[in-house]
A and B are shown apart, each in its own frame.
Chain A
């Protein structure tokens, strides 16, 4: 699931030299350039490597400049939390990805290259050193991150790349990175195939604009720039494995990148706001007449309004959205933005927390205008992957209680019908109102006090000693203050789970020792480590 694309050691210098020679007859790169940078000027030999002028196999048809002066190789050591033994630190994983220098001495890469990391090093062209780096900002919802280099001279001779716009369909782009097994930087070219909303698999819950390109993007391209006319038009980030679809790769387009850079300009990443509504297209003529709409191909129908979202109390199911910030919404949910048709949510996508969005609506055949102040509704986080946080849990009497989440479901490969239902319909059926945490008895560490409790595994806690349990904090509290007999009711039919408080207390040290439980509960999603997340 995690898409750290591991690359081989690319011989950047060799590539650099050869590239420069090949491209000499071509028109000089427009940018980026630094004074004194001449073809071959970076011919500084790294120790232990002989300089052999090998031609680069693929030369981009349109030179984008000496990308080697901007591209970096990022080695990240991550600790992925262990949801099955959440008191443990988790498994060490090492991955390598690409990144590139942008203005302000910063390096842009994918969030998935640096998520959950404890230690990051960066290498650059023509320099044998590995430089420790720090994550400055990470946006898991749009798979982008910025890293900074404490080494003062790191950016000397590096060339910051500049951003372009959305490339035209069918225009050619070049992707830079270090695909599988490559010894040196590789360039692949392709055309822009499609511009559309896509699921960003790093979080698995967020959809943003993404550009599909036909260039081969493989493990090793992650975080690398995709260029056109010497400008970055995207960051390569995900693709299909060959057995699903061939030649389908995606890059994060510049509107998403620019939004990220603007969001963090106040020193904090606020995440994407969301309207938290569902809607239906209004293409049926009878339905349009029923709603009192004209035959003008405009409007979409609000189906659900999520109570935890910013539209609650402002929009209602049955409202017809006619325009967003003055842009007419077509009946297929598209608006025209900068001459391109895009889903109307793109207007919201470009906004920030605290911004407002104005809708012209039709309610009960009456025209109205409403304004919604945007924020990110919290319940969605359950359905996406979390990074850089410790899993929350309570271990009591060998019973492990964990809040339902995508990470937890995947860790246990749970397929229980009820759990799946609570997960899928957490938002749409507003389950979060009763169960902000859906607390699952996820695992049992066997001990004489819980010998007969296996049938309760996978069930959801409803109440403890008559008190409804809504959050993990409430569960921890109820167990801490429990009377002699603890009666835990689960959702659905079945007897309550009954525990004897004194026996649990007597078994406590035994269980902790036997299973090497370092900590019996974690109630806060606090950052897992200070190092990688410094400055966040």
Chain B
């Protein structure tokens, strides 16, 4: 490709064309927010502020990443050229696809800006310009080359989404949190992550943005659909032979999650999925996309299909071809035993005496930081990771005793932490609501908590717990001893 040298060029054709446009379809987005403190679940952490860019779209909407506005308290839009500001609301947010739509409270705020159209035809070898703003409000455009189009996990690690990988030497500017990627003055993608060492940028591609916008126009945003099965390549001829697969291609179904579209459609472990709709799958699960060539079939379900769509699934079962019809659904975070994310919502907790009970979630584990998979309590990481295997009933939570606040009623218990609660006062506990209900019924004046791990049993004096509650709240600044909504 002749364009390799162009990466270093300051002035590219794409950029200069954009600069000629009078009013950029870019606004600054200033966000202040507060995350919940999972270690002190009754309070929020210190406020953060982020400055970013938003792409102005038709119908007076501004597109940003969900990352930017998650746990926000206040979102403000700022005109690039005038510095004029207005408050904005988050109209739709999809944490899994990492996209959000903002709307200014003043309807006229975006007047005079020609919104960006979206182009979905980007392919490997195309050049895209990253649009940033200079402090003056002038455009800073950097050009990069699309090197691959592939399925990758997004920050909220649920399934995989289509991603453009772009080789681009980005410069640091304030407001660079979300950066639009533009092709011929049309929006081609939004910055997902950037590695300054390798100068590789991953972008949320236009097909995902389009999908999000189309859903967002409906009354009730449902999110990206999933099928609910996991699969394994069938490259190994010995495995193909065992599965009775005589043709070519297809993937081996390794797990079908209860309650998901795949389960409802009758898919079974050991089936070979050979095609989806009109597309055939190869041994690695790739189909031939008209734009990108070989790419994983999950793209057909996320980018191209919507919740409620019926998708024909071609399978081989013990060598016999069959067709199953999947009615796709979006799986909500709350439909997991250990929810994968919990944003813009206050965490649930329940305090009994000095004992703090919470529900296990990946959001809680992520409180241990970027290396949470190594640093969080390993037993909980194991529960979270293997949740569908360990808790196939699905319709439950894992209640944990996360920590103990030293108080008179918890003397001798203060070293306890990270225990899994099985029963309270003899009643099984599968959610904090179960726990809250069971706590109300002490047995002979004692609240008895049973845990899966040692010490296996913890008893509190119910009267003492009630009597000491005000002092505990006062002492540790606990605004409320429970949050169950």
A residues apposed to B, CB below 8 Å: 278, 280-287, 289-291, 301, 303-304, 317-318, 331, 415, 417-418, 420-421, 424, 428, 451-453, 455, 485, 487, 492-500
Q: Which 3 pairs from chain A and chain B are nearest by CB?
A: A283-B412, A280-B455, A452-B236
Neighbour of A485 across the interface among B242, B269, B409, B413, CB < 8 A: B242
**Residue pair B381, A301 in contact (C-beta under 8 Å):** no
Give the nearest-CB partner of A280 in chain B: B455
Given the complex, which residues of A lie within 8 Å of B378, measured CB to CB? 417, 420-421, 424
Given the complex, which residues of B lie within 8 Å of A493, measured CB to CB? 230, 254-255, 269, 389
Given the complex, which residues of B lie within 8 Å of A415, measured CB to CB? 374
Q: Is residue B215 contacting chain A, with contact meaning CB distance below 8 A?
A: no
Q: Is residue B348 contacting chain A, with contact meaning CB distance below 8 A?
A: no
Interface flags for B437-463 (1: CB within 8 Å of A; 0: not) read 000000000101000011111111100
Task: Answer whether A303 and B456 are a contact pair too, CB < 8 Å, given A290-B446, A417-B385, A494-B232.
Answer: yes
Q: Is residue B297 contacting chain A, with contact meaning CB distance below 8 A?
A: no
B residues apposed to A, CB below 8 Å: 230, 232-233, 235-236, 238-239, 241-243, 252, 254-255, 269-270, 374, 378-379, 381-382, 385-386, 389, 409-413, 446, 448, 453-461, 464
Neighbour of A284 across the interface among B232, B386, B459, CB < 8 A: B459
Give the nearest-CB partner of B416 in chain A: A280
Give the nearest-CB partner of B446 in chain A: A290
**Residue pair A301, B457 in contact (C-beta under 8 Å):** yes
**Residue pair A317, B254 in contact (C-beta under 8 Å):** no
Give the nearest-CB partner of A287 in chain B: B459
Our count of residue pairs bridging A and B at CB distance below 8 angstroms stands at 100
- Expressed in whole angstroms, the minimum distance between the Cβ of A501 and any Cβ of chain B is 11
A291 to B270, CA, bound (A): 52
A495 to B236, CA, bound (A): 11
A149 to B61, CA, bound (A): 89
Give the nearest-CB partner of A301 in chain B: B455
Neighbour of A286 across the interface among B242, B270, B455, B461, CB < 8 A: B461
Neighbour of A281 across the interface among B235, B242, B412, B457, CB < 8 A: B412
A291 to B446, CA, bound (A): 11
25 contacts between A and B (CB under 8 A): A280-B456, A281-B412, A283-B412, A284-B413, A286-B409, A286-B459, A287-B458, A289-B461, A290-B446, A290-B448, A304-B456, A317-B457, A418-B386, A420-B378, A420-B382, A428-B453, A452-B233, A453-B236, A485-B241, A492-B389, A493-B230, A493-B269, A495-B270, A498-B241, A498-B242
Give the nearest-CB partner of A491 in chain B: B389
**Residue pair A498, B382 in contact (C-beta under 8 Å):** no
Given the complex, which residues of B lie within 8 Å of A494, measured CB to CB? 232, 254
**Residue pair B252, A495 in contact (C-beta under 8 Å):** yes
A78 to B252, CA, bound (A): 48
Question: Which one of B235, B459, B460 has the highest number of Cβ atoms from chain A below 10 Å of its Cβ?
Answer: B459
Given the complex, which residues of A lie within 8 Å of B243, measured CB to CB? 495
**Residue pair B382, A417 in contact (C-beta under 8 Å):** yes
Given the complex, which residues of B lie within 8 Å of A500, measured CB to CB? 238, 241
Give the nearest-CB partner of A304 in chain B: B454
Given the complex, which residues of A lie within 8 Å of B235, measured CB to CB? 452
Task: Answer whether A283 and B454 are a contact pair too, CB < 8 Å, given A290-B459, A418-B386, A495-B254.
Answer: no
Known: A495-B243, A496-B242. 4 other contacts (CB 8 A): A289-B461, A487-B242, A492-B386, A498-B242
Given the complex, which residues of A lie within 8 Å of B457, measured CB to CB? 287, 301, 303, 317-318
Task: Answer whether A418 and B382 are a contact pair too, CB < 8 Å, given A281-B412, A283-B411, A493-B389.
Answer: yes
Given the complex, which residues of B lie within 8 Å of A487, measured CB to CB? 242
A453 to B378, CA, bound (A): 28
A415 to B385, CA, bound (A): 14
A284 to B457, CA, bound (A): 12
Given the complex, which residues of A lie within 8 Å of B233, measured CB to CB? 452
Give the nearest-CB partner of A493 in chain B: B255
